[in-house]
Structure 1
Amino acid sequence: MATKVNNIRLTQTKQSFIDSFLRLVSLKDFEKITIVDITKGAKVNRATFYAHFNDKYELLDYIMGDSASAAIVKHTEGEIKFDQEGITQLVLSVFDFYQQPNIQCRSSYIGMVVPQLKEKIINELKVHLSNALGDIYPDHGKSFYVPIIAQMIHEGVYQWVTGNNTINQQEVAERISSLVLRGLQS
């Protein structure tokens, strides 16, 4: 029972750091956010912060990684079939990932955050695509196709998110999934 209580407390403490950091992100530049600022907002001491994270960069990394995983699980319930619907749901999860309010930030963060966002979501896509391609391709085939497919999905969404959107997300997701599936069938 003590382990469960301890895990809940750890989860609540991490969440308080995340909440504090996200409040600060909307108010000041990343470079000016200090551990003292984060711990003051979380109402927790600095030693506790360092028991969870090495620095604010690790906290940011944790937030983004958790968000990437959560976006995919939300759309796929953790299981992906390598078919039109499965790939469409993966694409929609990337849309959700980029549009989550908790990772939107001041323009001063864009240069630092966008590469990390891309890395996090592509890594999560690779994990889920590897599982989805499990029995379809041998390991050497998966190691070739998975990174390419992950990049295709990401790039298609990223182009929509950063450009002029003339078609809706569902249609983009269906087009990307068709492109992926047709490419593998040829």
Structure 2
Amino acid sequence: MKGKEVILGLLNTKCGLTGYQINDILQIHLRHFYDGGFGMIYPTLKNLEKDGLVSKKRINQDDKPNKNIFFITDSGKIEFKKSVNEKTEPEILKSDFLMKIYFGDSLLPGKQIDFLKEELNRKKSDLNDLLSNMSDWDSNGITDHQNFTVTYGMAYYKAVIEVIQLQLDSYNKRK
């Protein structure tokens, strides 16, 4: 799904969100399978508003900048429902880590092991983030569909951790 559909989906799920709230959802709930941030959010919201798919309510604040809350319109709901039911696209994995390992013959001695350890720590951290957030999500309400995406993310991270650890163990046995 593209940013447009993701934002429509979030607004369809929760009535009224600010750009900051959308970013928080992307960074906390969806980051293990969707890459998006402020650079995508605000231009997309502007286009969605221009196309009549979202509306905006401006809240004036005294000691802070004004806040915009976005709502999905009926046209936006129709557009989202149409797009979410279209055929899925194949997953695309873009990994700087894997590209560097692929060209490992050009790495300086010891760099491959450094990269493996770095990625192992990153994936362990990502897994721990999901595990620690899971209890919050459970207590605040998580649908079966959302739970599946978290479980999928945990399985992915566990599998990658295992593969990297096997590779590191293989290097250690050679020494």
TM range (shorter): 0.3 to 0.5
Structure of greater Rg = 2
Higher relative contact order structure (alpha carbons within 8 Å, sequence separation ≥ 6): 1
Which has a greater percent of helix?
A: 1
Which has a greater percent of strand?
A: 2
Q: Normalised by the size of structure 1, how large is the TM-score? A: 0.34
Q: Normalised by the size of structure 2, how large is the TM-score? A: 0.35
